[in-house]
Amino acid sequence: MNVSMIMFNQWITYGYYAMTFVFALALAWNLWKSKDPQESILYVVILIPFVLRLLRLK
């Protein structure tokens, strides 16, 4: 019982990392496609915490 609940929590954490990866990918894609410089800078700024969390640096 204990192990299964801890594992369940772990899976939720992995799910959040997966979501972070998807959002980071979407932001990077939008950055790549964007033609507006101001919008591009905004995408870069938003991307930083997603990348740092994925690398476990934040």
Partner 1 sequence: MDRTNRIKLAAVGVAVLAAVVASVEFLAMRNYRETVILGPSVSEVRKLSQYEPSLSGTPNDVNIYIMDSGKPGGTVMVLGGTHPEEPVGPIAAHILVENARLEAGRLVVVTRANRSASLYSRNGEAYPNFFRVKTDWGEKKWRLGDRGGSPLDSWPDPEVYVHWPSHQMLAYMDIRNLNRTWPGRADGLLTERTTFGLMNFIRQEKVDMLIDLHEAELEYPVENTIVAHEKAQEIAAMASMMLTAQEFAVPIGMEFSPKALHGLSHREVGDYSEAMSILFEVAEPMLDRIRGVTDESLLMEGKDDFVVEAGKHGLLYAPMDEKGWPIEVRVGRHLSTILQCIDIFSMMTPDRSVTVSGVPRYAEVIEKGPGAFLKDPAQAEKIAQD
Q: How far apart, in Å, do the first and last CA atoms of the chain sit?
A: 32
Q: Is 24:51 a contact under the CB 8 Å cutoff?
A: yes
Q: Is 47 in the site for partner 1 (CB under 8 A)?
A: yes
Q: Is 6 in the site for partner 1 (CB under 8 A)?
A: yes
Range 17-46, binding partner 1 (CB under 8 A): 31, 34-37, 40-41, 44-45
Structure tokens, 54:
């994925």
Structure tokens, 21:
């990866």
State the residues that interact with partner 1 by CB under 8 A: 1-6, 9, 12-13, 16, 31, 34-37, 40-41, 44-45, 47-48, 51-52, 55-58
